[in-house]
Amino acid sequence: MKALITWGGWTGHQPERIADIFNRMLTEEGLDVTVTDSLSCFDDPDLLASLDLIVPVWTMADLSRDAARNVSEAVARGTGLAGCHGGMCDAFRGNPLWQFITGANWVAHPGGDGVKHRVTITSDDPLVAGLSDFDVETEQYYLHTDPANRVLATTRTDVVTWYHSPNGAVDMPVVWTRSWGLGRVYYNALGHAPDVIATGTPYEMLRRGLLWAAAGKAAAAGQSINHLQHAGNHG
């Protein structure tokens, strides 16, 4: 299987180090991995179509409408998309199509870094089977999420009191899967710092998720998306 990891954007998320973790993760599983620090790869629809998996590691960058459409078409035909934290769901704030594909967009992390909170497994999906609830000390992401996401883990937003608190605590999704056409999409909100996802349960969750997304390409082989195609929303 062929995977592409592309990293860059805001340096506070240490994208190169996160990309290194993903590279090691996938290489150890036998994938043929290409790593780039450029978004020009998204301008090549033939390249994207040849991949089993795309792993974006970008935060607060700009993505053109055409590039987003290229990714959309590749994923819709089976190429997997998987990633974590701001590298995927705070990647391109100005691109609604990207947010639709990934299933969310970041809006806040009340309390900043170092917030102690629990991640609760909420599914019996094989991607989290055998994993237990765990505590982390990092950013607790508040996301605007697609209700169609298949949520695998959540966190309770009663840890930090702020302007959102009068609305009441909610179980905020942390990990989910979703479909985009024939493609598989996986997201994990952890990963503000590399050490958060470098070992333990967070690493295992991501390992399973990335491999699951990559396996969607073979599962989509021979299927058509003709019945799903539409002009789309051009704003």
Contact by Cβ (8 Å): 192, 85: yes
The answer to whether position 122 is within a domain reads: yes
For helices 200-220 and 15-28, the axis angle rounded to 10 degrees is: 60
Joined together, the tokens standing for residue 57 give 């590691």
In a domain, residue 231? The reply is: no
CA distances from 179 to 81, 102, 103, 216, 220 (A): 10, 9, 9, 10, 12
CATH code of 116's domain: 3.40.50.880
Predicted local distance difference test score (pLDDT) of residue 102: 98
Domain that holds residue 145: 2-220
Tell me, yes or no, whether 227 lies in a domain.
no
In a domain, 60, yes or no: yes
Question: How many folded domains does the chain comprise?
Answer: 1
State phi, psi for 168 to the nearest 5 degrees.
Answer: 95, 155
Q: Is residue 235 in a domain? A: no
The fraction of the chain above a pLDDT of 90, given in percent, is 97
**Residue 43: predicted pLDDT:** 98
Q: What is the pLDDT of residues 36-57, one digit of tens each?
A: 999 999 999 999 999 999 999 9
The per-residue pLDDT for range 98-111, each reduced to its tens digit, is 999 999 999 999 99
Asked whether residue 160 is assigned to any structural domain, the reply reads yes
